[in-house]
Structure 1
Amino acid sequence: MANPTTPTASVTCSALSYQWPDGTSVFDGLSLSVGRGRVGLVGANGSGKSTLLRLLAGRLRPSQGSVTIGGGLAYLPQNITLDTTPRVDQALGIAERRAALRAIETGDVREEHFETVGDDWDVEERALATLGSLGLGDVELDRTVGRMSGGETVLLCLAALLLERPDVLLLDEPTNNLDLVARRRLCEAVDSWRSGVLIVVSHDRDLLERVDRIAELRSGSVTWYGGGWSAYEEALAIQQEAAGRTLRAAEADVRRQKRELEETQIKVARRQRHNKKMDAQRRAPRIVAGERKRSAQESAGKLRGLHEERLDEARERREEAADAIRDDAEIRVSLPHTAVPAGRTVLSLRELRPRFGRLLRGDLHVHGPERVALVGRNGSGKTTLLRTLTGELEPLSGEARTFVPLRFLPQRLDVLDDELSVAANVARLAPGITDNHIRSQLARFLFKGARAEQPAGTLSGGERFRAALAATMLATPAPQLLMLDEPTNNLDTASVRQLTSALGSYQGALLIASHDLPFLESAGITRWLLLAEELQETTAEEVRDLLEAAAAG
């Protein structure tokens, strides 16, 4: 078992290169050294964050270079699949030690039991304390995993890793699918980390505020920023302001060099016409006139070459300055056919009881372009309710009726056919719409030109979400009720901004199930519903207070 105070806790990458089987390069000569402390690894979707963590964890082999881990390593992947049949102590990896302790307590002093326990005599107490620190204090060690919610199983996996006392802990998007209570517990675990190296890949701003440094992965290299997320954003804003000034100066220089080149060309042309005229007036011998012409041409050529070289250099400086400007383009799309009159009934629920979840009775009426947030604990039944509203699941009792065209964007984004291009996926859901119109609209979703022909199966996470969002919002008939299930899961901050801008153009009714309160507030939510035994009308402030109180308890 690793010693939590091991001074050698470290992560080192030397000239690391990795390619996907199709030859796409992810890293080419990446070198990285991480010492003790908490590091937030951030970057755009598709930049290679999860790939880097898998390389560090030994789940992938680099094409070239090496990874060196100082001390014991534990890794929490992004998509956890946990068998639901074992007991909690088996999932924690302590079942054999517990059994050996029980045997010794009953008088069985065989050597094998002492070897199993080793020095870990307080393993049960440590396990219960670790579970308690993650908000799982009421989870018994003999309980089966299948009785736990999805969010609880993520925290259980984290507890199992913490019990290993690793020197290096790698977490990949650990807050995905966690409600606010579970997120707060995980944030507190990161906040209290003092054991060695912690590297967490996340887009959760609250979690990233808890780290000591931010490592941004961009274009295959890492840039370091001191402090948490707010300090990173502030430093980035200063950088971008300076980059903007540099770009404006470089563009001004290009314009100046163009003017000087044009002026030089005009002067040369005038001089050549003047010399030709003077030679004709003087009746200069042809050989003298020819020599003077060659000399003038050489001089003019050198002058033009000097200014052309200066122009090329200015253009190179402009390109370098432009590369430093981050292109986080926003989605600006026109969706007039999604508009709903203010008084029109969009959705009606009467005495609805879904097949799964905690909702015992639900009454709800949505009118016009209302924007409704559906919040609640993991396992409360938010996804089940949405799928009941779409007609995919039959309710146990009651009824749900929609009165306008409805579209649903699920968490798994299965509205896309991976074999089809982005444009073909949109065309499949929008029959009768011309190809030119589809492509012009896709350009507004940042799929311009050839990018609209890219197969959906080859898209990065953020691109795939944009394609699914485009296919959903551009469908015919135009959706006047749009339902989204945890839309910000796995999205980087630029993609969340793009989603927010796209929803700003949508004129119909919205129903969004999400744990991401900052996103919900940015989406212009007009009604908040807390899903418990009933759908309870609430406010954003009350939601925070309720969930904070649950987290504190």
Structure 2
Amino acid sequence: MSFSIVCDAISFEWTDGTPVLSDLDVAFGPGRTGLMGVNGSGKSTLLRLIAGELRPSSGTISVAGEIGYLPQNLPLATGSTVADLLGITAQRAALHAIENGDVAAEHFTVIGDDWDVEERARAELDRLGLGHLDLDRTAATLSGGEVVMTGLAALLVRRPEVLLLDEPTNNLDLDARRRLYAAVRSWSGVLVVVSHDRALLDLVDQVADLRDGAVRMFGGNLTAYEEALETEQEAAERTVRAAEGDVRRQRRELEEAQTKLDRRARYGNKMNATKREPKIVMGGRKRAAQVSAGKHRTMHAEKLDQARDRLTEAEQALREDDEIRVTLPETAVPAGRTVLTLPDLTGLYELRGGPEEDGEPIAELVVRGPERIALVGPNGSGKTTLLRSVADGDHPVPTGYLPQRLDLLDDSLSVLGNVRRFAPSAPVNEVRARLARFLFRGERAERAAGTLSGGERFRAVLAALLSAEPPPHLLLLDEPTNNLDMSSVRQLSQALSAYRGALIVVSHDLPFLETLGITRWLRKER
């Protein structure tokens, strides 16, 4: 196979010295590769290194062809437009200038051979369900899902040979996800995608598993990867059990050998005391017995050490990834208590039984007690705007808001410093104990927020939110599963299932919502 991306012994650490990758070797060839690993393993950093956004501290990266890169969060400059996101603003301006009679040479230089760039851009937008977007529309007015799909359209307009996608299904509604799947399915170049979306990962040709600073390749999609991993782990568990049995056996044989040697020593001492044989003979026998005993003990001790080494090696093959332990504050809300009243609503429907059911329009939203509300709807319908308006309002209970872009953190402060902003009176040791539950232990709690991966950033924001003083009785979560690995999604759903306050969740992840015990389903329409 000819490889289009080759990473040779690359290392990278953040400016504060925090290591991320060390002497990593990996190569990606033609086809679709799913890059997997637990949060913080370095997946997003690796994509940024390949894309050229970061430089490795050592090692080399070579890429054959132009690179198109879609990050987790597209930067939105103030006043930027859809055309800016598509990267065609300069070419559009040159085209319009020529159409208006300005034939300056610089306009032709800007256009090059892309005379149809505006038509291709509109065609890609339409293919991705964004045909309603005006190219001059301000990007700040787009929903999170519309921003992601516009970023993808920009890459498809450029037609790069290498496509890098980092959590591309974040914020996407079901229709947008289906369009993204179709685009990935039809991609004929090199594609590397980081995602926790099962449907997307079942479209890949191979899985690259980034774990403990090394990458292992597995042929096939996510389902094939999980089956191979399950078979591998079952074999590893059998090996561990056999190694544990060997250690017990060697320890028992060492103890039995020691018992025999002690018995012989007592017999020799008894013979020496009774002086039944000449002293020189007995002395020789004692020295020979001591040498023999020493060799015997050494042999059994070496066998025990070897058995322990085999056990350690077998245990290292087992996967026991750390999982976050989300503990939510005791925030019981009485069943009849009103926690939120939102009048004068338009485009909001209460669904009869689930996300696919019909609904009735409601003009006022009243939330009482520990209700669990799922807010669904297409991208651009105003779900985030509605949730933000709730967060900005005055309510009779403490309210916590987890925004889509996770912009609650001060990037210049450490994780510990950020959480203490929300809980200024909490003792440092108590804050550290809370952070440990979110896998920020020891020096990790001192890392600058600006160096965190998407999943780590989510954990830090959630830790800050749940440590707030006073603790929230109403939780507002906007796409909380974005950037989380599958293990963390499971832990989050378990924790939210035990939450005793009121909950409003915006999400397109229906399997996640169905684990939360949702009591009311609302849909927002444009």
Q: Give the TM-score taking structure 1 as reference length.
A: 0.80
Which residue of 2 is the match for residue 136 of structure 1? 130
How far the C-alpha of 1:193 sits from its partner, in A, is 0.5
The number of aligned residues is: 513
Quick check: 2:348–2:363 contact (8 Å CA) kept in 1? Answer: no
Residue in 2 that maps onto 1:204: 197
Q: Cα distance, 1:334 vs. partner? A: 6.9
Q: Which secondary structure state, in structure 1, belongs to the residue aligned with residue 33 of structure 2?
A: strand
- After superposition, the Cα gap between the structure-2 partners of 1:439 and 1:107, relative to the gap in structure 1 and judged at 3 Å, is closer
CA deviation after TM superposition for structure 1 residue 464, in Å: 4.8
- 2:316 matches 1:315: no
Alignment-derived partner of residue 381 in structure 1? 382
Write the distance in 2 (CA, Å) between the matches of 1:420 and 1:83: 26
Q: Secondary structure at the match of 1:66?
A: strand
In the superposition, relative to structure 1, how do residues 290 and 512 fare at CA in structure 2: closer, same or farther (>3 Å)? farther
In the alignment, is the contact (CA less than 8 A) between 2:142 and 2:380 conserved in 1?
A: no
Map residues 342-421 of structure 1 onto 2, 5 A cutoff.
Answer: 343-353=335-345, 362-390=363-391, 392-393=392-393, 401-402=395-396, 404-411=397-404, 412=406, 414=408, 419=413
1:507 to 2:519 alignment: no
TM-score, normalising length from structure 2?
0.84
Return 493-502 or 17-26, whichever deviates more: 17-26
Judge conservation of contact 2:164–2:191 (CA < 8 Å) in 1: yes
Distance 1:245 1:230 in 2: 23
Structure 1: distance between partners of 2:160 and 2:452: 35
CA distance in 2, matches of 1:316, 1:215: 29
Q: CA deviation digits over 1:137-172, x for unaligned, max 9?
A: 233456565554443233222222222221111112
Unaligned runs of 5+ in 1: 1-6, 394-399, 534-553
Check conservation: 1:456, 1:464, Cα contact below 8 A: no
The CA distance in 1 between the partners of 2:422 and 2:86, in whole Å, is: 47
Q: Percent same amino acid among aligned pairs?
A: 57
Residue of structure 2 equivalent to 1:276: 269
Structure 1 residues 418 and 518 mapped into 2: Cα distance closer, same or farther (>3 Å)?
farther
CA deviations on 1:276-324 (whole Å, 9 max, x unpaired) are 2123234434443333222222212222212222222222222222222
Distance 2:92 2:474 in 1: 54
3-state secondary structure, aligned to 2:364: strand
Question: Is 2:167–2:196's contact at 8 Å kept on the other side of the alignment?
Answer: yes
1:253 aligns to what SS in structure 2? helix
Deviation (angstroms), 1:53: 1.1
Q: 2: distance between equivalents of 1:30 and 1:364?
A: 53
> Given the alignment of the two structures, is residue 185 of structure 1 paired with residue 179 of structure 2, yes or no?
yes
Q: How many Å apart are 1:201 and its aligned residue?
A: 1.4
What residue number does 2:244 align with? 251
Task: Give the deviation of 1:426 after TM superposition.
Answer: 6.8
Identify if the C-alpha distance between structure 1 residues 358 and 244 changes in structure 2 by more than 3 Å, giving closer, same or farther.
same
Q: What's the counterpart of residue 74 of structure 2?
A: 80
SS at match of 1:338: coil
> Using a 3 Å threshold, how does the CA distance of structure 1 residues 139 and 112 change in structure 2: closer, same or farther?
same
Cα offset, 1:107, TM superposition: 8.8
Measure the CA separation in 2 of the matches of 1:441 and 1:140.
Answer: 46
Report the counterpart of residue 546 of structure 1 in structure 2: none
How far 1:181 sits from its partner (Å)? Answer: 3.0
CA distance in 2, matches of 1:223, 1:418: 35
Task: Note the 1:74-223 alignment, pairs <5 A.
Answer: 74-83=68-77, 85=79, 88-89=82-83, 91-94=85-88, 119-141=113-135, 145=139, 148-194=142-188, 196-223=189-216
Distance in 2 between the 1:518 and 1:442 partners?
Answer: 27
> 1:544 is matched with which residue?
none
Conserved 8 A contact 2:207-2:218: yes
Separation of aligned partners in 1, 2:419 and 2:93: 55
SS in 2 for 1:224: strand
1-structure distance, mates of 2:86, 2:401: 37
Distance (Å, rounded) in 1 between the aligned partners of 2:475 and 2:323: 20
The structural deviation recorded for 1:95 is 5.3
Describe the shift of the 1:177–1:12 C-alpha distance in structure 2 as closer, same or farther (beyond 3 A): same
Supply the AA of the counterpart residue of 1:500.
S
Q: Which amino acid aligns with 2:494?
A: S
Query: By how many angstroms is 1:526 displaced?
Result: 2.5
Letter matched to residue 203 of structure 2: R
SS in structure 2 opposite 1:217? strand
Change over 3 Å in CA distance of 1:514–1:142 after alignment to 2: closer
Q: Once the two structures are superposed, what CA deviation does each residue of 1:478-514 show, in whole Å capped at 9, x if it has no partner? A: 5443332221122111211221222233233322222
Shift in alpha-carbon separation, 1:381–1:425, aligned structure 2, 3 A: same
Q: CA deviation at 1:416?
A: 8.2
Provide the residue aligned with 2:358 in structure 1: none
**1:488 and 2:481 are equivalent in the alignment:** yes
Amino acid in structure 2 at the alignment position of 1:375 = V
Residue 300 of structure 1 aligns with an amino acid whose one-letter code is A
How far off is 1:217 after superposition? 0.8
Distance 1:11 1:335, change over 3 A: closer
Given the superposition, is the C-alpha separation of residues 362 and 226 from structure 1 closer, same or farther in structure 2, using an over 3 Å criterion? farther
